[in-house]
Each structure stands twice: as structure tokens, then as C-alpha cells.
Structure 1
């Protein structure tokens, strides 16, 4: 199936949004709740009809699109975002090479979907459940992503849950990026095209 620059931009914006929110939570203890909800819902989108269907709408990825345009450069915050992205993509490659881990992940996400009938995704118990999937299945694959932030915030269980849940969402977007033909060379040689696409999407939303 042929995928377009649009599909790759959407999947990459999903990754960017997740890691940008990780940065916000690690520094401030909170983040944009609508954007967080979009990313948590993307974990459950296992059978979307198209790429944007994973996230809902282009407008739901505004933070990710803005981060693409603004953060991925030589600045210190940009470097941190880039470091997270590189770490997430490395985990996705390890995950995709392990059929047992992929099967486990599918089972755990299935359980999560059933729980959403009774619980809101943003409930602390649900965030804890999502975080435990990252801790049990993704994290052991290595290499570990070192999250920078405010030490007092990073010691709080609810902050740790949000960070891990968002890292799981970032890996989900990295899986999508691979599925729509995203490769490392696109970051080196196709970045300009994706940035132009991101600017178009921001202008119309």
C-alpha cells in the first residue's frame, strides 16, 4: 500500500506530541489534558481506517505539529525532544523484532480497552495500568529512555504514571510511523517535506 508524506507527517506529529507532553509533565507535573487524552486514546486505536483515525483529527495533533516545526532544531529543548524521539524509535525497532512482546502488548491493550467501558482513561488507576504496560513490556527491551525534568516532580507516582503512559503512546506512534513507510532516512533527507506539510496542517486547523 502506498503511503504519502501526509501519513508520515501525521505519525511523526503523534510521536512529537507524546514526547513533548513527557517533557511538560516531567518539568511541571502536568500537561494539556486534551492532548494527553488524544495520545492515550491512540494506544487503543488498533484497527483504524486511516492514519489520522489513530488520533481523531488534525486539530488533535496541534501540539505535536507545533513541536515538529519549533522544537526539532539545535536548541536545548529541541535536543531533548530529539533525544526522546531517537530513544522511542530504537524501542519500536526492538519491539517490532519480538513477536512475543508484540503479542503480549496486544493482549494488554485488549484488557485496557475492556476497562475503558467502566473507567475514564485519565483516571489515576487507568494511567497506572497504562504505565505498567510500558514498564512490563517496553522498558525491558532497552535502551532505557532517561527522562529529564524537575526531581521533585519525577518522584511523584502520578507524574511517573503519566510519563510512562505517554512513552507507551510515543512507541505506538513510532509503530504507526514504520507502518506508513517512515524510515530513518526520511528524518535526514525528508524532514523539510514533513515540516512543510506540518505548516500546512497548522495553517488549516
Structure 2
């Protein structure tokens, strides 16, 4: 197993963790706080020395690793199929963003401006999520290709939930950028899926 493939798997886990948090929020009106904190914090790791530095530690990625294993496994459940769709959409959206360097600069500048809010309130505070959601709305949501989130209307119509969903989608894009920087390509999601699942399962086994 090459280190680069392990790093790609970690970045993929970051994508799937963000997608899982979107699904939880849209269908249950809430999501686990520890993975949410890891996911939001990843947006502000702009100068990491290695891949894991983006997420803090492997425990912070446990939700994403589990979701990756299920969604890319042989028989994913219906909810995991939905999360897989979000993950693939994030990869597709990142590819579109890559062709818009000015927008990438704008996103980077606004995330840097939001850093002060995180330092003051913490990464899971509603003010932070609203700030990040506005970045997503003003940039990525203007693309013709959009990520349609499915869930229960009573949850989706709550402003705080909508902000959390957009903030997690923005963080998912950050992981998709990282995955691309590590050599990840869309065709690998089909032809290397078993290897990614095996790596994720191995990491989870070591964490238990």
C-alpha cells in the first residue's frame, strides 16, 4: 500500500464525512458534533505539513472512514447511496471550481476572514456556520451544476440547518481539492474503490 493512496483515502474520508453530515442534517435535523468540528476546522488548515494535519487526527475522521467503507462497498444501503451521490457531486463541483481561479481566490480570502469568527466562537457555532454558508452561496451555488440535497422539509426549512448544510458542502469541497492535489481522479473512484475501502477498514480496525 503506497502512502499516497492512504493519503487519498483520508481525503476521500473527508469528502464522505462532509456528505454524511449533510445527510444527517437534512434527514434528522441534527448531526454528531465531533465530526462536524473536524470537518469545519479542516477549512482553516491552509498550510498543513501532511494530509492528516488537515483533520487533526484519525479519530476525527472516523465518521468519514465508516461512511466511505459503506458507500463504496459491495452493497451500500439506500442512505449510503445518497451520501455517495453527494460525494461524487462534490468532486464534480471541485473540478468546475478549478477552472475558476478568481473564485478560488475569493473563497480563500473569505475563509481567512472567517477565521476570526472561529477563534472567537468555535467551529460549530451557528455564527460560524452562517458565515461559511454565505461563502458557499455567493460562489459555488452560482454554478449551473448544483448539489440538490434531499431530506425532510421541516428540517431543511430551518435556517440553522440550511447554514450547516452549506458550510459542510464548502468543507467537502476543501477535501475534494485536497484529494485532487494528492493525485485523486474520478476514474479511481470506480477502479480503486476496493483498495480505498480496504485502507479505510484497516485504519478503522487500528482505531478500535
Shared fold per TM-score greater than 0.5 = yes
Give the structure 2 partner of residue 160 of structure 1.
162
- The 5 A counterparts of 1:1-205 are 4-72=4-72, 73-205=75-207
Give the TM-score, by structure 2 length.
0.94
CA distance in structure 1 between the aligned counterparts of 2:124 and 2:187, rounded to whole angstroms? 36
Determine helix, strand or coil for the equivalent of 1:118: helix
User: Displacement, 1:74?
Assistant: 4.7
C-alpha root-mean-square deviation of aligned residues, in Å?
Answer: 1.3
- Structure 2 unpaired stretches of 5+: none
On the 8 A contact 1:17/1:61 being kept in 2, the answer is: yes
CA distance in structure 1 between the aligned counterparts of 2:123 and 2:42, rounded to whole angstroms? 11
Residues 108-158 of structure 1, C-alpha deviation per residue, up to 9 Å, x if partnerless? Answer: 011011322322222211110011111111111231111011110000000
On the 8 A contact 2:19/2:87 being kept in 1, the answer is: yes
**Shift >4 Å, 4+ stretches:** none
Give the TM-score, by structure 1 length.
0.95
The number of residue pairs the alignment matches comes to 204
On the 8 A contact 1:42/1:172 being kept in 2, the answer is: yes
Residues 8-67 of structure 1, C-alpha deviation per residue, up to 9 Å, x if partnerless? Answer: 000000000000110001011111101000000001111110001100011110000000
On the 8 A contact 1:27/1:153 being kept in 2, the answer is: yes
CA distance in structure 1 between the aligned counterparts of 2:8 and 2:67, rounded to whole angstroms? 15
CA distance in structure 1 between the aligned counterparts of 2:43 and 2:204, rounded to whole angstroms? 23
Name whichever of 189-198 and 69-78 sits farther off: 69-78
CA distance in structure 2 between the aligned counterparts of 1:53 and 1:140, rounded to whole angstroms? 30
User: Displacement, 1:94?
Assistant: 1.0
CA distance in structure 1 between the aligned counterparts of 2:200 and 2:94, rounded to whole angstroms? 23
User: Displacement, 1:105?
Assistant: 0.8
